[in-house]
Amino acid sequence: MNIIHVLDENTANKIAAGEVVERPSSIVKELVENSIDAQSRHIEVEISDGGISFIRITDDGSGMSPADAKLAILRHATSKIRLAEDLSTIHSLGFRGEALPSIAAVSNFSLTTRLHENESLATYVEVAGGITTDIREAGGNVGTTIVVKDLFFNTPARKKFLKTVATEGSYINNILVKLALSYPNIAFKLINNKRLVLSTPGNNELQDALTNLYGQKVAPDILPISYDNTIDNIAISGYLGKPTLLKSNRQWQTIIVNSRVINSRAIGKALDNAYHSLLPKSGYPLAVLNITVRADTIDVNVHPQKSEIKFSDEQKVFRAVYKAVTEVLSAAHTPSQLAASAQLKNINYHHTPSYHESPAIQHSLYASTPVHEAISWQEQPLPLATARTAMEKEEVIYWDTPHVVDTASCDQREPQFTLQPLGQVDDCYIISRGNDGLYIIDQHAAHERILYDKMSQHTDRIPAQQLLVPIFIDCDAAEITIITDYQDTFYNLGFSLELAGPSTMRIFELPSDIPLSEAENSIREILEFIQNMHNPTPQELRHNGLQMAACRAAIKAGEVLNMRQMQALITELCNTNLPYTCPHGRPAMIRFSPHDLDKMFKRTGF
Ligand code: ADP
Ligand code: MG
């Protein structure tokens, strides 16, 4: 007697559903993709209870004939491909013919569909837990409506894995936002528990879709991206957020490859690396990247929910994204101008900073307001070097260390303001008085900027300190290879290292500003950077190495400073080229003009 048997169709569908139908949002994704493939112009999604009890998708696409409607719910029934070879030139989102039968196997499912041409009636098909219970003619509009009720009613074990109604609802929202961004020519609507929560105009303008989805407030903070490399056959279009517009996760990043929304670690990393020097340590910028590559250079059939694809040359795509994004960000001016996006009128004076806010939120509130002023102030042709000249004249400054006056950068005109420290708050911020308002300086960011500028003046090697007692660090084989390959880079950054055993490196020189306690972490940070970047250029390495060294060597938040130290720090900061931001792009100082103060105290009208 044979012990192997072929599973019946219903069982096979339930098993397939395990892969395709993970949760309500995967159903919405599959069904909306079908509506897109059917050339719909309007797609409406309505859900109740996070999609667990009810999902309805209505489209005005091609619809199906009565015969096709019956076939559509069968396994491996598809109108989109005929042969496996078709996969290499595929332009539709679906191709496996699995979604409808899988969804219908684990829910109470119905489909009403009517073809455009000549049909007066629609076809209605009803399937309960994989068993077809009704097929008949019915009234219905042109297009297709699919209703999915009671998800996982017959597979209770699966139901247990669902999250709360609110979380499942938010997953649906997220996937719909991404689909709507990838098809700005289609008008999308999402109704959640009878409330319209999302809608796009479908006018084929990505910017309009974006502002409808993320709010009009993002409009001034997005930059168009357009890149076309005909040799590599990669084109990129879309929008990038300015570095001030941050989220604490990647939710604001939509990656679309050949019209398909995908997740890609490599592309995410390329974005991270391109923004790296402009962002504070935490936070993910907004990005909608529409990437077009040749269809035969990707494999779309590598993931059960089709949410990942395989590139034949991932490095090439990584580089293109990195290059395209860096070009936009550097063309879009200096970090400060990028940060200048938010308008003062947006300040929420009633906002009480809460320690529960994520760093990203804190940062954006922080950066989005008075930084603007610090920048416009800097943009006046008055170098901050004058501050120092002024203070020297008034003899209020005492240098901690001998200071070489760089006359070339000194402005000889009469100074218009001076900065005088008043005190330190929270062992982190220096409050100062200037002729034109109140200045708040972040001591760590300020010192980072000073050190970074100082170090970057050394075109060859950053000055190093010889260690009396070498430091030993453990490295794995991959790290040792990197250190050996990038020996020169480490040397130029002020490090001298040599192999001291099969998995040990000996450090005998360090950049002179870096404290011993930071030696190992500094090297690890550079290693991590090299590992994360696919073959960084020498400039990128240097920028990152300097940034790291400045950060490690800078005074920290929490260090108590006396007046003299504060004055010296402020004066040196004013002597740098970009005193208003640290090398990571965070604000180093913020100004409140007397007018701002008047507004905050409601002495003037708004
Ligand atoms: P796939 O999308 O992989 O072909 P599905 O199970 O999702 O498989 O759908 C099966 C078939 O049903 C599709 O190939 C398509 O012909 C038809 N179909 C599904 N949804 C729609 C729709 N909204 N409008 C028109 N046809 C549809
Ligand atoms: Mg499909």
Sheet holding 589-592, edge to edge: 420-425, 429-434, 437-442, 589-592
Nearest CA to ligand 1 atom 27: 34
pLDDT given for residue 339 in this prediction: 41
Q: Is 96 in the pocket of ligand 1 (CB under 6 A)?
A: yes
**Adjacent-strand bridge partners of 42:** 187
Q: How would residue 150 be classed by pLDDT, with cut points 50, 70 and 90?
A: very high
List C-alpha distances in Å: 408 to 98, 297, 307, 397, 575: 71, 54, 56, 21, 11
Question: pLDDT tens for residues 472-513?
Answer: 998 888 888 888 888 888 998 889 998 888 888 999 999 888
pLDDT given for residue 315 in this prediction: 87
Q: How would residue 136 be classed by pLDDT, with cut points 50, 70 and 90?
A: very high
Per-residue pLDDT for 396 more than 50?
no
Pairing of strands 234-241, 287-292: antiparallel
List C-alpha distances in Å: 158 to 56, 104, 494: 21, 15, 57
pLDDT given for residue 423 in this prediction: 94
Query: How many angstroms is it from 33 CA to the middle of ligand 2?
Result: 6
- Give the position, in ligand 1's atom list, of the atom nearest the Cα of 95: 3
Per-residue pLDDT for 129 more than 50?
yes
Quick count: other Cβ atoms within 10 Å of Cβ 174?
13
Q: Is 430 in the pocket of ligand 1 (CB under 6 A)?
A: no
Instruction: Give the mutation target among 13, 44, 78 for probing the ligand 1 site: most ligand atoms within 8 A of CB.
Output: 78
pLDDT given for residue 88 in this prediction: 83
In this prediction, residues 522-549 reach a mean pLDDT of 81
Query: How many angstroms is it from 147 CA to the middle of ligand 2?
Result: 15
Query: How many angstroms is it from 23 CA to the middle of ligand 1?
Result: 19
Nearest CA to ligand 1 atom 19: 34
CB 522 within 8 A of CB 552: yes
DSSP 8-class letter at 75? T
Question: pLDDT tens for residues 300-353?
Answer: 988 888 899 999 999 899 989 988 998 888 777 544 444 433 223 233 333 333
Question: pLDDT tens for residues 403-424?
Answer: 222 333 333 333 334 789 999 9
Q: Is 77 in the pocket of ligand 1 (CB under 6 A)?
A: yes
563-574 vs 385-394: helix crossing angle, rounded to 10: 140
Tokens 């044979």 map to which residue?
Answer: 2
Q: HEC string of 463-490?
A: CEEEEEEEEEEECCHHHHHHHHHCHHHH
Q: Is 209 in the pocket of ligand 1 (CB under 6 A)?
A: no
Residues of the chain above pLDDT 90, percent: 42
Helix residue ranges per DSSP H, 380-437: 385-394
519-532 vs 477-485: helix crossing angle, rounded to 10: 90
Entry pTM:
0.63
Q: HEC string of 175-189?
A: HHHHHHHHCCCCEEE
Which range has the worst mean pLDDT, 191-200, 245-254, 400-409, 446-455?
400-409
- Give the position, in ligand 1's atom list, of the atom nearest the Cα of 34: 20
DSSP 8-class letter at 516? G
